[in-house]
């Protein structure tokens, strides 16, 4: 019991010292520490870590509403073990996996996504009605190594000069409208360059869908089985190339970068629960040492 009491006094003292010291400097504020994922969090089968952040933990920071602790565009929603990500527009995608990598202090990686509508529609020809686009502020990009596209030419009619694509690419299934429809791997489209322009006039709708690239040469892909390919989803990647010098310095000092809705760096969120303008070194180091906390935890038993 005396130990516990001593601990409380010690903690109080340390907090008072801390308050009278570094924090009076004015360059630090507290922030809501729930903004940052301190430990990897499991959502279903997916492990979520910084630079991803939970869209449910978007907060006010420095007067910017909708600020977050992570990189622009890496917001995650976790609902009932389902991990979702919103890209451009209202469309949300199921996160199948996130793969993290690092070199030195720099992080990079990729995230595997799939359209939940396509996943639920178990048919061989699910409905395809929108492009997959990345919001302008997002740091995500389609990694050239692993992305191919299927191009859907929907509801087409071919008056005289316009040449129709070969029958192997014609869709014979799916809810695709009145006219003829075709789906081509994008790398097969250039050879029809002459009429690609005309195809956009011949067809009511053109949809480009990213898919995993098939590095094993020609697959068993066929136009009336494209559902299989779409259900495998696609990849997006991120790296530190868009990171400002301030954010890099922040991360090197063990901080997390805070960004606002416009994708501007607005502060360094430090493990001591304080926000610094640049890095977590200097003022604001935690005065309550881990040994003190350990001692006090022991006192509770
Ligand atoms: C988790 O992984 C298992 C096995 O791979 C799979 O059957 C299940 O559907 C996955 N759950 C989610 C929510 O993706
Ligand atoms: C998911 O990502 C981890 C790395 O974070 C990797 O080890 C694993 O193979 C990936 N799983 C799938 C199904 O791609
Ligand atoms: C990573 O950051 C630490 C500071 O925390 C620094 O000492 C080290 O040189 C950095 N490593 C690289 C490869 O930049
Ligand atoms: C990203 O995806 C590729 C497969 O396309 C994989 O080889 C790689 O290990 C993944 N992870 C990272 C961190 O790049
Ligand atoms: C989808 O993207 C392609 C290529 O950028 C474009 O030609 C087409 O009009 C887009 N479709 C829709 C419905 O926005
Ligand atoms: C980093 O991302 C940019 C796009 O933001 C990309 O062009 C570049 O190739 C990536 N660098 C690496 C090493 O993957
Ligand atoms: C952290 O910032 C302080 C000034 O705020 C500066 O003196 C120091 O060099 C910085 N540390 C690093 C590692 O950049």
Provide Rg for the chain, Cα atoms.
Answer: 26
Range list of β-strands (E), the chain = 29-30, 41-43, 46-48, 53-54, 59-61, 64-69, 75-79, 82-86, 92-103, 106-114, 147-156, 180-185, 203-212, 234-238, 256-259, 265-269, 274-276
Ligand 5 within 6 A of 204 CB? no
Q: Of 27-36, 112-121, 164-173, which has the strongest mean pLDDT?
A: 112-121
Ligand 5: nearest atom to the Cα of 130: 13
Q: What angle do CA 289, 291, 296 make, to 5 degrees?
A: 105
Ligand 3 within 6 A of 103 CB? no
* Residue among 43, 52, 97 whose CB has most ligand 2 atoms within 8 A, to mutate: 97
Q: What angle do CA 255, 258, 260 make, to 5 degrees?
A: 175
- Average pLDDT on 255-280 reads 92
Under the banding of pLDDT at 50, 70 and 90, the label for residue 186 is: confident
If one counts every other C-beta atom within 10 angstroms of the C-beta of residue 191, the result is 9
Question: Is residue 14 over pLDDT 60?
Answer: no
pLDDT for res 271: 92
In angstroms, rounded to a whole number, what is the distance separating the alpha carbons of residues 199 and 148? 20
Q: What is the chain's length?
A: 301
Lowest mean per-residue pLDDT among 73-87, 195-209, 268-282, 287-301: 287-301
**What is the number of the ligand closest to the CA of 232?**
2
Residues with beta carbon inside 6 Å of ligand 7? 249, 252-253, 278-279, 281-282
- Average pLDDT on 82-91 reads 94
Lowest mean per-residue pLDDT among 3-17, 41-55, 60-74: 3-17
Task: Count Cβ atoms within 10 A of the Cβ of residue 142 and give its class: 0-12 exposed, 13-18 middle, 19 or more buried.
Answer: middle
Which carries the bigger pLDDT value, residue 258 or residue 13?
Answer: 258
* Residue among 128, 206, 209, 210 whose CB has most ligand 5 atoms within 8 A, to mutate: 206
């Amino acid at each position: 019991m005396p130990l516990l009491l001593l601990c409380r006094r010690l903690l109080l003292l340390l907090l008072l010292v801390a308050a009278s010291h570094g924090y009076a400097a004015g360059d630090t504020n507290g922030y809501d520490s729930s903004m940052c994922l301190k430990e990897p969090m499991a959502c279903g089968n997916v492990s979520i870590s910084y630079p991803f952040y939970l869209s449910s933990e978007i907060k006010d920071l420095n007067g910017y509403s909708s600020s977050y602790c992570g990189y622009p565009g890496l917001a995650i929603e976790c609902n009932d073990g389902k991990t979702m990500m919103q890209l451009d527009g209202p469309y949300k995608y199921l996160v199948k996996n996130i793969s993290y990598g690092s070199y030195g202090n720099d992080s990079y990686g990729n995230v595997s996504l799939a359209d939940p509508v396509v996943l639920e529609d178990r048919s061989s020809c699910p409905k395809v009605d929108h492009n997959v686009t990345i919001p302008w502020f997002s740091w995500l990009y389609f990694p050239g190594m692993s992305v191919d596209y299927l191009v859907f030419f929907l509801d087409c009619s071919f008056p005289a000069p316009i040449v129709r694509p070969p029958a192997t690419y014609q869709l014979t299934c799916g809810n695709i409208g009145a006219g003829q429809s075709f789906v081509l791997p994008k790398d097969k489209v250039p050879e029809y360059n002459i009429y690609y322009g005309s195809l956009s006039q011949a067809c009511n709708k053109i949809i480009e869908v990213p898919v995993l690239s098939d590095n094993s040469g020609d697959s068993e892909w066929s136009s009336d089985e494209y559902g299989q390919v779409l259900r495998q989803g696609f990849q997006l990647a991120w790296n530190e190339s868009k990171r400002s010098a301030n954010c890099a310095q922040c991360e090197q000092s063990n901080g997390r970068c805070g960004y606002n809705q416009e994708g501007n760096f607005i502060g360094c969120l430090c493990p001591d629960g304080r926000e610094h303008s640049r890095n977590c070194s200097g003022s604001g180091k935690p005065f309550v040492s881990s040994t003190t906390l350990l001692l006090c935890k022991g006192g509770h038993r």
